[in-house]
Amino acid sequence: MKIGGYGDGDYFGVCYWCGTEFTGDKRATQCLECAVNEANKDRKELSVLRGIVEFVLEADEGGTGGTYNHCTSCVFDLIDRVEDMLKEIK
């Protein structure tokens, strides 16, 4: 099994992220827990980016010919939405 910087194995290593000793592949740089946490964080960030894209596409449904309408209120709505989504990651 390979997740992020972790891989199965019988070698002793020290996690680059948290400093804990772990057993894994000889080239592993992360313990399993840190690798899983990093993978979950990446998924959350990807989800936020997808949400931003969906928001922009929804805002464009007014028929502006495929170009996001950069009116002031739309930009502020987008900023608020991004800030809310970023809070969810933390």
Q: Where are the domains of the chain?
A: 2-89
Q: pTM of this prediction?
A: 0.54
DSSP β-bridge partners for residue 24: 11
Q: Is 6 helix (H, G, I), strand (E, B) or coil?
A: strand
Q: How far is 72 from 35, CA to CA, in rounded Å? A: 41
Token pair, residue 34, equals 């840190």
Most confident range, picked from 8-12, 43-47, 73-77: 8-12
Exposure of 9 by Cβ count < 10 A (0-12 exposed, 13-18 middle, 19+ buried)? Answer: middle
Determine the average pLDDT of the residues in 9-30: 94
Q: In the block, which residue shows the tokens 């009116």?
A: 71
Distance between CA atoms of 29 and 12, rounded to whole angstroms? 11
